């Protein structure tokens, strides 16, 4: 008798903040239900914080509803073995994850300019100054790995933080394919994650990004 997947991801039918969650689940080879929310007003009042994404974890025999994308990523990392092999690697992964969160906060108004309507000079400054600065920070963190020759941010294997970095870089590449040209280490990292066997097939068949080249 077949059983339902343990995990269910609820989010709008776009990449958005849930894509890193989907990527982590695919990377770990975890079967899950990807539920596209199309009637948000009907669902909003039933959610813990009135926001998406949400992860429903049914592994304990009951439904554990988890909001907040960063909390979801860490929960899955601990549950699915994607948090590193030591306390040092846990901390390195967390540092990278927080850096990605900071960078994403500055990227979102630019990525969704039609919604946030930032001034033109803010957009220009982002691509010419803010992004290069953030990429330099990520390059520095990549070199701090306990196994730098492996090419991942914490150790010998990818962690949830590597998936978060990949998703951030992927969004930039969707908008500006040349955005990593001056950063060969990050460009190679992006290609390395994309080539992981458990991710490659998903990346080849997933829905197109809502971010457009300009």
Which of 80, 114, 145 is the C-terminal boundary of a domain?
80
Determine, yes or no, domain membership for 2: no
What's the pLDDT at 60?
A: 81
What's the pLDDT at 3?
A: 57
Within the chain, what is the greatest distance between any pair of CA atoms?
59
User: Per residue in 102-156, pLDDT tens?
Assistant: 999 999 999 999 889 999 999 999 999 999 999 999 999 999 999 999 999 999 9
Which H/E stretch holds residue 8? strand 7-11
Read off the pLDDT band of 61 (50, 70, 90): confident
1: its two tokens = 């008798």
199 and 101 within one domain: yes
Read off the pLDDT band of 170 (50, 70, 90): very high
Average pLDDT, the chain: 95
State the residue for tokens 């500006």: 176
Which of 45, 80, 115 is the C-terminal boundary of a domain?
80
User: Per residue in 97-108, pLDDT tens?
Assistant: 999 999 999 999
Determine, yes or no, domain membership for 133: yes
pTM of the prediction? Answer: 0.96
């Amino acid at each position: 008798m077949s059983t339902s997947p343990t995990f269910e991801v609820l989010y709008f039918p776009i990449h958005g903040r849930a894509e890193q969650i989907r990527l982590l689940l695919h990377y770990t080879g975890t079967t899950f239900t990807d539920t596209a929310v199309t009637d948000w007003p009907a669902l909003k009042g039933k959610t813990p914080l009135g926001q998406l994404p949400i992860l429903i974890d049914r592994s304990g025999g009951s439904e554990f509803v988890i909001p907040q994308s960063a909390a979801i990523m860490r929960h899955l990392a601990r549950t699915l073995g994607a948090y590193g092999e030591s306390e040092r690697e846990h901390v390195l992964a967390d540092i990278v994850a927080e850096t990605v969160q900071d960078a994403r906060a500055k990227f979102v108004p630019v990525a969704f300019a039609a919604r946030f309507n930032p001034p033109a000079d803010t957009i220009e400054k982002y691509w010419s100054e803010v992004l290069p600065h953030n990429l330099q920070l990520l390059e520095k963190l990549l070199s701090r790995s306990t196994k730098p020759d492996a090419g991942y941010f914490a150790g010998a294997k990818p962690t949830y933080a590597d998936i978060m970095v990949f998703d951030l870089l992927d969004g930039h590449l969707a908008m500006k394919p040349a955005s990593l040209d001056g950063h060969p280490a990050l460009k190679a990292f992006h290609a390395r994650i994309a080539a992981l066997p458990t991710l490659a097939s998903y990346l080849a068949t997933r829905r197109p990004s809502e971010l457009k080249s300009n």
